[in-house]
Structures are given as structure tokens and as C-alpha cells.
Amino acid sequence: MSLFDLADKAALITGASRGLGRAMALGFARAGADVVLSSRKAEACETVADEIRALGRRAAVCACNVSHWDEVSGLAERAWAAFGRLDILVNSAGIWRAAPIEQMSLADFDETMEVNLRAPFVASKAAAAHMGEGGRIISIGSNLAERVTDTSLSAYSTSKAALVGLTKALARDLGSRGITANVVHPGSTDTDMNPAEGPHAEHQRQKMATPRFGKADEIAGMVAWLAGPEGRFVTGAALTIDGGANA
């Protein structure tokens, strides 16, 4: 049995136009899955979709602003319409708003909760209605949910910590149906949002047991394992992959 065998599965990934979302979409396709890519940046998703088709798998693109709950709630139905099934949901879309508590606006706090917490709730609720035995819901959290190592993270860390509670509750609600729910907590990962050679990179490396940024494919590998046959007994878990920053 392959650790990453997703043959003929159908996956829906939010925030799939770049970074971790793109890496997961391509990783799923290499493992045999068809993928629905969702993002506000539909044109960028089309580029990823072409890469997936070049791997011999099917791809569909759904433009969606995850801060709009009505758009998020329709994603699962659109994924079902594309492939006639939905086996895997990955809640990858997220935003970063950082400021000291005295300067954090309520608008920024609310937007962080809308994108990082409410959208995964709405997407998971909709996806669960289309999933059968073996369904997987995987959300992308952050190691900053477990250990807040810097200032200015009141909104971001709160949203990702709350995502753990949501995931555990989903595991309880859906376990009797054979659907698992887990959250993956990446640490500093080399993406457009947080480049390994960016102005804050060295500060982050100094916190790690292995002082290098992660690669998007490394995060995608853990997610693919959770989505595959060997991950079927893992549910309600928060798995950290951060180079030992939280060790």
C-alpha cells in the first residue's frame, strides 16, 4: 500500500493558486487525485490546473473569495458537479494581519476570523454533506497556534488556535461516518508570503532546531499522507511540521 495513493479521489483545495495550496494540488495529482482549485485568483489557478492536466489528472477551477461565506458554501457543490464525488477538502486559504493589541483594528481582527476560521467551518460543513466513508478534512493551521513566540499575533494566533478546536469538534461529529478531520501546523515555509531570504527570515531561523525554512513540498507531503490510506486512523489531531521551532 502506497503512503500517498490517492488514485481516483477528488480533492477540493482552497487558496490553491500559489504557495502551499499549489504544492498540495500538484502533490495530490501526482498521487492520482483529481483536483478542484479554489482561489480569488482564478487565472493563477488555471496555470496550476494546466500543470495538473499535464500529469494526466483532471482539474477544475472555482473562483472564490473565502471572506464571503455564500461563495464558500457553494464550493463543495461545484466540486461534486465537476467530478461526481468529493473525498478530500483542504482548507488552505488564509491571511496574516499583525499589529500590537493596542493597534489591532477590529476590522482586521474580524477579517482574520472570517478567512482563517469561519471559511474552514463553512467549507467543512458543506463538504461533509458530500463525503462518504473515508472522507478527509484537513485544515492548514500554524505553529503559532501552539506557541506565540513574537508580539503582534493576537488575531492570527487566535484564529489558528480556534481552528484546532473546530477540527477536534469535526472529528467527533463526523467520526461515525468514517470521515476524519485534522489540522497541519506549518512553521516558517519558503513561499511568496514568507520567503526564505526575506527581511524577517533570519529571526525565524534562529528559533528552529534545524535552522532552515521548510519547503512547500514537505508540508504537502504530510497533508498527502493524512489524505491517503495510511492516515485513516488519525483524526482530531494537530500535527506540527516546523523544523523544531516549537520544540
Q: What is the mean pLDDT of the chain?
A: 96
Contacts (Cβ under 8 Å, ≥6 apart) of 154: 101, 104, 109
d(CA 13, CA 79): 10
- Hey, which residues does 13 pair with through a beta bridge? 37, 90
Length of the chain: 247
pLDDT score recorded for residue 2: 61
Q: Is 156 among the residues known to form the active site? A: yes
The one catalytic residue among 28, 109, 156, 213? 156
Residue 106: count of CB within 10 angstroms of its CB: 8
Question: Does the predicted model carry a pTM greater than 0.85?
Answer: yes
List beta partners, residue 123.
Answer: none
Q: Tell how far CA 110 is from the center of its chain.
A: 20
Q: What dihedral angle (degrees, nearest 10) is formed by the CA atoms of 13, 18, 23, 25?
A: 30
| 219 and 142 Cβ atoms separated by less than 8 Å | no
Collapsing DSSP states into helix, strand and coil, what is residue 204?
helix
pLDDT of residue 193: 87
Cross-strand partners of 241: 186
Identify the pLDDT of residue 1. 47
pLDDT at 112: 98
Ranges of the chain whose pLDDT falls below 50: 1
Q: What is the pLDDT of residues 28-65, one digit of tens each?
A: 999 999 999 999 999 999 999 999 999 999 999 999 99
Residue with the three cell numbers 484537513: 138
How many CA atoms does the CB half-sphere of 117 hold within 13 Å? 19
Q: In what order do the strands lie in the sheet with 10-14?
A: 59-63, 34-39, 10-14, 88-91, 136-140, 180-186, 238-241
pLDDT of amino acid 34: 98
Q: Map out the domains of the chain with their CATH numbers.
A: 10-241 (3.40.50.720)
State the cell numbers at 211.
535552522
pLDDT of residue 142: 98
pLDDT digits (tens, 9 = 90+) for 87-103: 999 999 999 999 999 99
